[in-house]
Amino acid sequence: MCGITGWVSYDRDLTTERGTLEAMTRTMAFRGPDAAGIWLDTHAALGHRRLAVIDIEGGKQPMLVEHDGRTLLATTYSGEVYNYRELRAELESHGHTFRTSSDTEVVLHAYLEWGEDFTRRLNGMYAFALWDPRTEELLLVRDRMGIKPLYYWPTSDGVLFGSEPKAILAHPAVRPAVDAEGLAELVGWAKTPGHAVYRGMYELRPGHTARVRRSGLTVRRYWSLEAREHTDDTATTVRHIRELLDDIVTRQLIADVPLCTLLSGGLDSSAITALAAKGLADAGSGPVRSFSVDFTGYTENFKADTLRPTPDGPYAHALAEHVRSDHSDIVLDTAALMDRAHRDAVLNARDMPMGFGDGDTSLYLLFKAIREQSTVALSGESADEVFGGYRWFHDPEAVHSDTFPWVAGGVFDRFAGEQSGAGTSLFDPGFLAKLDLPGYQAARYREALDEISYLPGESGLQRRMREVSYLHLTRFVQLLLDRKDRASMAVGLEVRVPFCDHRLVEYVYNTPWALKTFDGREKSLLRAAVRDVLPDIVADRVKSPYPSTQDPRYAAALGAELRRVLDDKDAPVRPLLDTAGVAQALSGDVGEAFRTGTELVLGLNTWLASYGTALEL
């Protein structure tokens, strides 16, 4: 895994712009701590920071294909193509020769052999740029599910691009500015494919390419979720899902560096850990290493609620004992979660405040601790979106609401701050009116529905659950994949997400909802497919989301920091606040809603101050 950046300009000689490219590339250093590289051509400049995972010695970048002293193709590449060995063998049968054992070189030759249609042959997570000096054209490519990020900024004579916004923002011609639509996107829990929050910047949509020519930039879709008839019965469906998972996990165990799994004790991460343990054992390796996050005193003093009925610890330990993994708990305390340096590191990794609060900070600290012992981790992320695991999948009111189901569930109200019965809000009503968040969410919801294809005659609950699944697989999952990528790459850890393999996603997406819930529970198909490798206590566990600290000192510390912002007349976020409402909220008991709103206010304040972001409302 790596960090990439680059610049195409048809009106200037970029061989004289090394300093700018070096500045852009430096912003990606944490994504690629092992090596740096820059390649300059007259109208193209590519930058790369490398996290070495496969072919440690031979996979240096930017990588070129040359013939008779001419450069045929150059790339700056981030990601992993899991079927690169099969592709390499096929390309060799067509006469291609290779000088490395890296998947990067396979991608270069695949493009030379098959042209832009080579994207249909790739299985993996990736974001990369290909520059063809012969035609002076750039091709940007992003994986089907959007596991790896890729941003671009069209210019009057070309494009700027990077793995993260910060690479583009490092260019002297770019000024960070956000308008009302950008802020609505930031806080609306309606992740819009292609939207990058910053005005003038775009995120390449998952399953898309962008081609840059002298005549301009064109975007093309090469993959999307399409409705297909499912004819397999229950037993066949379960068996095929297990076959897919065995193949996916086996492929994703390939690495030339230490590898581990992320284990919460839930069904998803336990399935991946158990299958990884089995795969390693079958290969004569192992045991699998596994890591969990915990908070000081969390399990001993746990208080169940409607969102989190059980603590993770006992279940993670049960699974680790069952598969005999080499397991470690990463235990965090409130001081670490509140440490300003840690929270600033999270903001820098995200390039904007996302409002996950201690969930972001704890994930960053978990990955930081894991990185001391491992370079690659397998995660259970995205199983809920694929198999229908969230509680609102099974809440008729949320399912049939005329908006995103997770918004209807009210779980993620970014503008929370209400004290029970107090009727207060942290944000100024005029500011909220400018954002028109309900209108923005409604428009994005309608756009998403317009993309969906249906089977002939599909109606009723099956039709609606296809829509709900599509919304999660194209909108909601992007929030979580982006979060996991930034938190992990901020410390140079590569996280792989087996449940995002497009073959599995396509198959389960087209499985009828009645089959997905055949045992009357969430994630019926996944549970049936992996029950044989799990202890019953884990297989039957009710879903519990990623943990959040319950230490009251954390909420109190947030309140104290919010008061300092309120008292600072020069705080950049202050004009956006309802100061009377904030004061009233601070005078009451600190609740969960207040904590969520406060996290967002504090993040916005730091972002506006440190990034110099201009709000153009």
Catalytic residues: 2
Are the C-beta atoms of residues 441 and 190 closer than 8 Å to each other? yes
Of the candidates 385, 498, 451, 535, the one whose C-alpha atom is nearest the C-alpha of residue 224 is 451
Q: Say which DSSP state 288 is in.
A: P
Are the C-beta atoms of residues 290 and 325 closer than 8 Å to each other? yes
In a 10 Å sphere around its CB, with 0-12 CB exposed, 13-18 middle and 19+ buried, how is residue 186 labelled? buried
Q: What is the DSSP string of 111-148?
A: HHHHGGGGGGG--EEEEEEEEETTTTEEEEEE-TT--S
Helix, coil or strand: residue 464:
helix
Give me 361's structure tokens.
């900070």
Helix (H) or strand (E) holding 599: helix 592-611
Between the CA of residue 462 and those of 141, 233, 400, 403, 563, what are the distances in Å?
A: 33, 16, 12, 17, 49
In angstroms, the CA 564 to CA 308 distance is 32
Between the CA of residue 61 and those of 26, 28, 77, 461, what are the distances in Å?
A: 15, 14, 8, 50
Q: Say which DSSP state 100 is in.
A: S
Of the candidates 585, 591, 455, 461, the one whose C-alpha atom is nearest the C-alpha of residue 517 is 461
Are the C-beta atoms of residues 262 and 316 closer than 8 Å to each other? no
Strand ranges (DSSP E) for 133-199? 137-142, 151-155, 158-162, 177-179
The region that residue 131 occupies, defined by phi over 0 for left and psi between -120 and 50 for alpha, beta otherwise, is: beta
Are the C-beta atoms of residues 77 and 50 closer than 8 Å to each other? no
In angstroms, the CA 4 to CA 48 distance is 5
Strand ranges (DSSP E) for 283-407? 289-295, 326-332, 376-378
Helix, coil or strand: residue 252:
helix
In angstroms, the CA 365 to CA 134 distance is 46
User: Cβ–Cβ contacts within 10 Å for residue 559, how many?
Assistant: 16
